[in-house]
A and B are shown apart, each in its own frame.
Chain A
Amino acid sequence: MAIHLNLSQATIREKRLKSIVGYQGTIKDLAEQSQSGCLKNATRGFSQATNCNSGCAQGYLSTITDAAIVNHGPIGCAGDVAGANAGFQWGQSIRDWNQRNVRIINTNMSEKAVVFGGDQILKEGILKAYERFKPKAIFVTTSCASGIIGDDIESTIKKAEAEIGIPVVPVFCEGFRSQIWASGFDAAFHALLTRIVKPAEKKRPELVNVINFAGSGRAVITEIFGRLGLVPQFGIPYSNIEEISRWSEAAATISICGTLGSYMGNGLEQNFGVPYVTALQPHGISGFDDWLTKLGETVGKEKEVEEYLAEQKVLAAPELEEIKFKLKGKKVVVGMGPSFAHNYIRFLEDLGMEVVWGFSWHYDAKHDHGGCPSCTVELTKTDKDIPVSVSDQQNHEVINLLSKVKPDIFIGRHPGMSVWATKMGIPAIMVSDEYSAFGYQGTIEFGHRIIDALTNNSLAVNLSKRINLPYTEWWLEQDPFSFQEQKNKKRESENKKNVAVR
């Protein structure tokens, strides 16, 4: 789908990528329905707190080293800033930088502003951010309140920009506008693509943009890319405005996460001529092979990649065998964002584990290059059809399902979810670092992490004995997905089969 940089806002994922937050069935069915274009979202009669796109947008942009953010809304909408700052401390610390706090100002919208309009406080906020931080650019993130009362954000921003002479860029991310929090990444990237990235003056054939989060894998990637004659440029986090403005110079863009990178990668490809590598994620061996091979194909380094991978295979083989032997047949439930989920399902199956259920916190029926996500398609190529569901971290579905399928381990991503498996006595791993299971050595590391989690589960066991879950017995006896509308559900009998057989 084309990325339109003449629009002031990114189109939300529901409209652009036919993304959904409600589905239950199997991976093959999901892929088939996506490809035939008939995938529909199921709504729920009961729902629990999820996340919104504003958090993703301002969290991601807040890591740009010389930019500032003005969050236009009541103070609660900046409630995530403490979390963004914690992440920022981590990112600076692993770089050995002098640590400072994130630069986010909230306009503290009061009842008065809600009634009479918030344009004035927004202007004040922008000027204050300029005065305090002397940033190279200011991003203005919107809120539910600013969206509903209809503040004229764009004209206020233009006026402020004329006064201070740096880019002041709107980032439309009202919480209610999209059910898919990843729309916030697109909103952030849209702001960068429209106002920060400049057409390349010269091309740098050795340079590869790597879209990631905190970027703990920098050293490893730099080494690998170095062998291929390539130089990685990591971002967007911990880059500055000048560096981002030159992302158009690169020979290719690649991402650690398909959900994250789709908008920026394709936006750079469509509008600045930088090819985007749409590969599997580099988690697990087959994913990493695909990721690096596709990159090699894009930048003409096929031979170098082939040599490197052949060497790694030999080196890693004995340890991988040992891990596979220990993990064989262990039942696992995965719960992550869509790209991570579908990539980890493949990776864990590759390790010989049995993925008995895959939750993804949303699902994009396609990515911005037009096709169904490659990690999803890849899972349809085997005989096995894995049961999956899509939910925006709907806790009642997850808990209910876990109580029925009783896996040996739950592997999750996103804060506030894996703990629930622990409370049920199930060993859990929370993948917070995007470079967990990266490449050959990362895969081995992660294999050992699973083995360790299975070796001593005393925390979970003891917790589960003494605490009560907040669910009624009635609920735990129901079908986990009974609050999803029928639209997307498999027939009752098939559904029972998937859930109850375990």
Chain B
Amino acid sequence: MSLCVEQIRHVCTLGAFESVLAIKRAVPIVHAGPGCVAKLWTTLGSQNGHQGSGYVGGHAIPCTNASEKEVVFGGTDKLRKVITNTFDVIDGDLFVVLTGCTSDIIGDDVGEITRKFQAQGKPIVYVETGGFKGSNLIGHELVLGAIIDQHLQPQEVEPGLVNIWSSVPYQNTFWSGDIEQLNILISSLGLKPNVVFGPDSSVDAINDIPKAQYNLVISPWVGLRTAEQLKNKFGTPFLHYPALPIGPTETSKFLRTVGEFAGIDPAVVENVIRKHEDRYFYYLERAADTLLETRLLPRRFITVADSLYALGIARFLTNDMGLIPEKQFITDDTPNDYQSGVAAEFEQFTSGIVAETVFSNDGGYVEEEIRKLKIRSRPLILGSSWERVVARDLNAYQLSVSAPIGNELVLSKSYVGYNGALQLVEDIYSVVLNDFM
């Protein structure tokens, strides 16, 4: 199979500057060519739920815009200048220097420059994220790794405090809503989420990462490296829960697993679950009339998404909604070491149902494979806005759930948890109803 990619769904390592933007008052300083930021933010921001510049994103990001001169003579002088002036010009609490291809190939010693600023007591770290190193999901872990290594100090553990490593900011289109929902779920168990990304985040929370009693990795593979690093450096134990909890089956299981891990009284956990489920089923009961109107129902679904969303959504639609998974396309460039583990998760559905997984970040290949499938009803394709074309051609229903999403404005929406599942049902059946009304 060729390694080239069409219809891209993630970007390069440097795309992780978006993870920095997800931390309130944290500021990326990009040492790269002039087009990197604009390009990466197109896939991760403006064409992904129309997530805009926010506090210091887009054209506000300090950047060296490396030119021929820096490529030939080295870019460290320019970087030093830009960093120095950034401290005067930009109002921020943490600064993260990220490099792109130009700097990493010519070998600028960015570490040396940054360490001088660190020695002056400036809150700054650096990370080498030259685009050829891999995806922005890898970059996301590298950014967190740099913060852990260069910035965090050991602290006394605060009982009940939990760091959550799950949706990847900006890459997972609904990340900020996801984080809010996960926080609600975790809080309902009496634990206290340390909010690193999103609307309630702060650099204080970053500094508090070592205070946490636990790390929770809620993702098939992204974040594991972070949790392991934190375990090594601060001894924080972590729980790896591979599936994003969507819908009652998975979310209740998730809450029980976390409850058990954190030693919470099962009666408390069950009480929480019952309340959530009661509300969920109140609404689902009302929807059931339409859901059972077989004339409209998609029976089978294809997912084209990051492993995080693909698994979470597949679990819900199969285990709770009675749909049947067709091929599941995992597009996040899952590292080889993790692929079999991720694939195994797609074998754990109700009624012994097993979904075939295909790992490929080449959207062109995915499209060819989708066109080959023989499906005996109008299928539902849960993918990105790239899939709108193939969905039209195949007369399929299409809902955008993964990057890039150009055809929806996404704000606080999330498909996580009990409430998120209701949202997903609303969205899917609105697609179905809008199709003919």
Contact = CB atoms under 8 A, between A and B. Distances in A.
Interface of A: 45-55, 70, 73-83, 85-86, 89, 99-101, 103-111, 113-114, 121, 124-125, 128, 132, 143-145, 148-149, 174-177, 179, 181, 392-396, 415-417, 419-420, 467-472, 474-475, 483
B65 A50 contact: yes
A475 B88 contact: yes
Nearest to A417: B59
Contacts of B15: 76, 79
A77 B39 contact: yes
A307 B207 CA distance: 73
Nearest to B83: A46
A76 B35 CA distance: 10
Contact of B89 (A46, A54, A176, A419): A46
B344 interface: no
A316 to B, nearest CB: 36
A471 B101 contact: no
A422 B43 CA distance: 23
21 contacts: A45-B82, A46-B85, A49-B38, A49-B59, A50-B35, A52-B35, A76-B15, A78-B39, A79-B8, A79-B36, A107-B3, A107-B4, A110-B134, A124-B4, A145-B131, A174-B33, A175-B34, A176-B68, A176-B102, A416-B59, A470-B27
B34 A416 contact: no
A417 B404 CA distance: 21
Nearest to B27: A470
Given A76-B40, A79-B11, 18 more contacts: A45-B85, A46-B62, A47-B64, A49-B62, A52-B36, A76-B14, A78-B8, A81-B7, A82-B406, A105-B5, A108-B3, A108-B4, A111-B132, A124-B4, A145-B105, A175-B33, A392-B65, A395-B59
Contacts of B64: 47
Contact of A99 (B6, B86, B392, B406): B392
Contact of A121 (B4, B55, B89, B368): B4
Given A49-B37, A78-B5, A143 B101 contact: yes
B53 to A, nearest CB: 6
Given A46-B86, A395-B59, A416-B59, A86 B47 contact: yes
B301 to A, nearest CB: 21
B4 A49 contact: no
B88 A392 contact: no
Nearest to B70: A176
Interface of B: 2-8, 10-15, 27, 30, 32-44, 46-48, 52-53, 55-56, 58-68, 70-71, 81-82, 85-86, 88-92, 100-102, 105-106, 130-136, 361, 364, 368, 385-386, 388-389, 392, 404, 406
Contact of B36 (A81, A109, A175): A175
B134 to A, nearest CB: 8
A125 B362 CA distance: 12
A475 to B, nearest CB: 4
A471 B386 contact: no
Contacts of B91: 468-472
B85 A149 contact: no
Contact of B4 (A86, A105, A143, A470): A105
A137 B41 CA distance: 29
Contact of B2 (A73, A128, A149): A128
Contacts of B66: 144, 176
A175 B55 CA distance: 26
Nearest to A12: B68
Contacts of A143: 101
Nearest first, the 8 A-B pairs at minimum CB distance are A52-B35, A76-B12, A175-B33, A49-B37, A79-B39, A74-B131, A46-B85, A82-B47
Given A121-B4, A176-B71, A55 B11 contact: no
Contacts of A468: 55, 91
A20 to B, nearest CB: 13
A470 B406 CA distance: 27
B2 A49 contact: no
A145 B131 CA distance: 9
A145 B132 contact: yes
B34 A49 contact: yes
A472 B11 CA distance: 31
Contacts of A73: 101, 131
Q: Which of A49, A54, A70 has the largest number of chain B CB atoms within 10 A? A: A49
B35 to A, nearest CB: 2
B60 A48 contact: yes
A415 B46 contact: yes
A48 B389 contact: no
A171 B106 CA distance: 23
Contacts of B40: 76, 79
Contact of B8 (A75, A111, A395, A475): A75
Given A51-B38, A105-B364, A470-B91, A416 B6 contact: no
Contact of A148 (B5, B67, B71): B71
A181 B35 CA distance: 8
Contacts of A54: 35, 39
Nearest to B42: A83
A82 B132 contact: no
Contacts of B404: 82
Given A45-B85, A132-B364, A106 B8 contact: yes
Nearest to B66: A176
A101 B392 CA distance: 12
Contact of A114 (B62, B82, B105, B406): B105
A46 B386 contact: no
A186 to B, nearest CB: 16
Contact of B47 (A45, A83, A394, A419): A83
Given A74-B131, A79-B40, A144-B102, A108 B5 contact: yes
A419 to B, nearest CB: 6
A483 B67 contact: no
A144 B30 CA distance: 15
Nearest to B89: A475
A73 B39 CA distance: 13
Contact of B389 (A75, A99, A149, A470): A99
A270 B92 CA distance: 53
A217 B437 CA distance: 32
Contacts of B14: 76
Contacts of A105: 4-6, 364
Contacts of B361: 75
B39 A419 contact: no
Contacts of A395: 58-60
A86 B406 contact: yes
A52 B41 CA distance: 13
Contacts of A416: 38, 41, 46, 53, 58-59
A177 B70 CA distance: 10
Contacts of A471: 89-91
Nearest to B8: A78
A174 B82 CA distance: 22
Given A48-B61, A114-B132, A392-B65, A148 B35 contact: no
A144 B43 contact: no
B34 A51 contact: yes
B35 A51 contact: yes
A101 B58 contact: no
Contacts of A149: 105
Contacts of B48: 82
B192 to A, nearest CB: 27
Contacts of B389: 99-101
A16 B60 CA distance: 30
Contact of A472 (B47, B89, B392): B89
